Amino acid sequence: MPKRLIYDLDFEALGAALAELGEPAFRTQQLWEGLYTRFYNDFAQFSNTPKNLRDSLSAEFIINPLHVQKTLLSQDGLTEKVLFTLPDNLSIETVLMRYERRNSLCISTQVGCPMGCVFCATGQMGFIRSLTSGEILAQVLHFMRKLQAESQNLTNIVYMGMGEPFLNYDATMDSVRRLMDPRGLNFGARRITISTVGIIPKIEQFTKENLQVNLAVSLHSADNSLRSQLVPANRMFPLSKLIPACKAYTEQTHRRISFEYALIDGVNDSREAALALAGLLKGMLCHVNLIALNPSKKYPLQGSPKAKVHAFSATLEEHGIPVTIRLRRGVEIQAGCGQLASSEITA
């Protein structure tokens, strides 16, 4: 029988596992702190617990399910992409982006992705399986260890890597709750962002969670027909239903929603497209993140040139829509948005 991943257990489940081993309740907090504040990745490091307990835990659980298969560093040294191998020999990618005052981590929730967005390398590789909450958390803890060794901290986490987080909703939210748990990582909700292509029932469920976690929706077009071509999920969750769900989120949570928009040269980057987007979002508590499309092997079209990106941004601003032009990071190592595809860099 394979060993269980200890990161899959929440505080109560860990306590129940220790009770089965005949351990007192205070051991739960000791182990929790070792895992989530000291970032131990070997049971031998838990020196404040009896050896027989460490042996029992080691026989039943693994701590870290990730094996570093390959690491790529961008030319400027600010973006690092790691290809991890999971216990079943499948692979995922995770990206650390360093900025002047923050370190942001882009994590994966699935091996591949079932959504099939035409310009996304992850979508092009298809869907294999969802990650467990512990496999999602392990990505974060790997980089927390790394940054701690450099006397730095992780400041932001974005669920924007491989996969659609809202199609792995329970594991995604379990991982978020353990990130936020004040007994351990105590990571601020407002420093966490979950990105979705617009799975309406899950947006509605997320709204009811009433968390301070940020929500981002990948939009890419204000035209329903074009969006269906770019993002096939739009056929099931069209703009006529998605936008009201987004508005309801902002009205019920009083949280600003972000819309991701990848500009594709000659496809969705005209002044008319910008005006349509401004009209669609008018009056909503929102923010648009623009980025020129990053290249992927199976999509022939290119990202919009800088002049078009800035013109599109200016049009949105003229019509009162808050907008940011995102930096393209790690493109040459396929670490940019829409470029993650574990099958493509397997050594």
Q: What percent of the chain has pLDDT over 90?
A: 82
Q: What are phi and psi of 249, to 5 degrees?
A: -60, -50
pLDDT given at position 337: 55
> Coil, strand, or helix at residue 211?
coil
Work out the average pLDDT over 99-128. 89
Residues 217 and 259 sit within 8 Å (Cβ to Cβ): yes
pLDDT given at position 342: 54
Which tens digits make up the pLDDT trace of 222-274? 999 999 999 999 999 999 999 999 999 999 999 999 999 999 999 999 999 99
pLDDT given at position 329: 58
Residues 86 and 66 sit within 8 Å (Cβ to Cβ): yes
347 pLDDT higher than 60 = no
Work out the average pLDDT over 302-324. 95
Could you identify the residue written with the tokens 């032009």?
Answer: 325
247-278 burial, b at 16+ Cβ within 10 Å, e below that, comes to bebbeebebebbbbbbbbeebbbeeebbebbb
Work out the average pLDDT over 217-221. 96
84 pLDDT higher than 90 = yes
Encoding tokens for residue 161? 């890597």
Give me the residue spans of the domains in the chain.
4-62, 67-344
Work out the average pLDDT over 135-144. 98
Which tens digits make up the pLDDT trace of 24-51? 999 999 999 999 999 999 999 999 999 9
pLDDT given at position 105: 97
Marked catalytic residue, from 106, 117, 286, 337 = 337
Could you identify the residue written with the tokens 């670490």?
Answer: 335
Contacts of 327 (CB under 8 A, 6+ apart): none
pLDDT given at position 181: 96
pLDDT given at position 341: 53
346 pLDDT higher than 70 = no
Active site residue 106: no
Of residues 226 and 78, the one with the higher pLDDT is: 226
Residue 196: which of 222, 213, 215 has the closest Cα?
Answer: 215
Which tens digits make up the pLDDT trace of 177-215? 999 999 999 999 999 999 999 999 999 999 999 899 999
Contacts of 272 (CB under 8 A, 6+ apart): none
Asked if CATH classification 1.10.580.10 holds for the domain at 4-62, the reply, yes or no, is no
pLDDT given at position 100: 87
Of residues 295 and 330, the one with the higher pLDDT is: 295
CB atoms within 10 A of CB 14: 20
331 pLDDT higher than 70 = no
Of residues 74 and 188, the one with the higher pLDDT is: 188
DSSP 153-210: ---EEEE-SSS-GGGGHHHHHHHHHHHH-TTTT---GGGEEEEES--HHHHHHHHHH-
> Coil, strand, or helix at residue 341?
coil
Mean pLDDT over all residues of the chain? 92
339 pLDDT higher than 90 = no
Q: What are phi and psi of 254, to 5 degrees?
A: 60, 25
β-pairing verdict for 127-130 and 79-85: unpaired
Residues 339 and 331 sit within 8 Å (Cβ to Cβ): yes
Active site residue 246: no
304 pLDDT higher than 90 = yes
Distance between CA atoms of 307 and 127, rounded to whole angstroms?
36
22-55 burial, b at 16+ Cβ within 10 Å, e below that, comes to ebeeebbebbbebbbeebbbebeebeebeeebbe
Q: Which CATH architecture has domain 67-344?
A: Alpha-Beta Barrel (3.20)
Task: Give the DSSP H or E segment for 78.
Answer: none
Distance between CA atoms of 53 and 57, rounded to whole angstroms?
6
- pTM here? 0.92
Marked catalytic residue, from 23, 93, 135, 164 = 93
Of residues 74 and 130, the one with the higher pLDDT is: 130
Work out the average pLDDT over 92-121. 91
103 pLDDT higher than 60 = yes
Residue 213: which of 171, 251, 243, 256 has the closest Cα?
Answer: 256
Distance between CA atoms of 106 and 303, rounded to whole angstroms?
21
